[in-house]
Structure 1
Amino acid sequence: MTLRIRHLRMRAKTPAGPYGADIRFASGLNVIWADNTKGKSTCMQGMLYALGLERMLSPRREVPLPHAMTSFLKNDDETQLNVLESTVSLEIENGAKQVITVHRSIKNALVDNRLISVDFGPTLTDKTVRTERRNFFVVDGGAAKREDGFHHFLEQFLGWQLPLVRRYEGSDCKLYLETIFPLFWVEHDVPPKFHPAAS
């Protein structure tokens, strides 16, 4: 029942070229530290989005990621660059030491962002590996129950057996991953240190 995040890659294509970040995670505790507005929350949200868990962030169907991945970003010199396309990729490992890499489009006129592509191997950390790729869907109904639904696949990959729960109207349905992940997914900003004025 283990989920280990191994590597995050976020990319935004602009007229001036690609922008983005790669974060490699070690085993154990990892701390993402940066000044305000430098992308910490974007990275955290990107990981949830890659796993099709964006309903944790917002019930709306729009992509719940900031403008740096959806519309425009600013260079160090404050030049504004339009985002033409953007993607997120996440390499994860289960308790059996199996590794997959998931890819999801954030902005792309030709690719439906309800599609998640899965490489059955560590394609972010090992450029030599050649793997099988399979496509799954998220967001739409059936993603937790159908064979081609990503959350159905993810539940099996993690070795989970989610229980059936009662809906308001009385029928039973499987407990959704979006209801479980908030229990162990915490984003916390450390407030700046307070310096009392000299007397």
Structure 2
Amino acid sequence: LDADALAACAEQSAMLETLSRERITAELKKLLGAADPAPAVAAMAQTGVLPHVLPGAMPAALPLLIHLEEGKPGGWIRRLAVLAGDIAALRLSRAETRDFTRVRDALSGMDTPAALGWRLGWRLGTDALLARAALLETPPAADWRTRIMRGAQADFPLKPADLMPFLHGASLGRALARAQAHWLAQDLRPSRADLMDLLGLA
């Protein structure tokens, strides 16, 4: 946008308060679903429009996310997560809110690609990995797709029944949680026997 257009947008930004949440949400989803929304989002931030739409949003990582997508954009959720704004004013469906929350929560963790795949599945695991890489300005490993898919197809090798001869109630839950945390931290590689040994139940 040229200087005159930016100035005009800035002058009209307050009018966004008169638009419905549904309209704003629909337009934002359309924008974030475009091939490269980064220039438009940057212009929105420059003119003061973005804070009206998504308070607290920070668009700096969006161009890198677009680059990491390599021309294969996924859903708009990952791009919304990278902006890191307050979504309270948006009118999202329950499923969209759930997906956004799961991706956003994964951004602060250190899960491996395989662990993300196991926790979130292929689609959201990909969203979380690329969004986190953009925010950290660190490209993911070349084999990240294979690793996410491995996690998405994996089954946690330990079942409650495996521990029931030895543990019950709260102690059973704590043991399963400990084993699961170890399994995820070790990139989903420990076997059932390894986990039983970890718990001293081999």
Q: TM-score normalised to the size of structure 2?
A: 0.26
When Rg is computed on C-alpha atoms for both structures, the one with the higher figure is: 2
Q: Which structure: greater strand fraction?
A: 1
Q: TM-score normalised to the size of structure 1?
A: 0.26
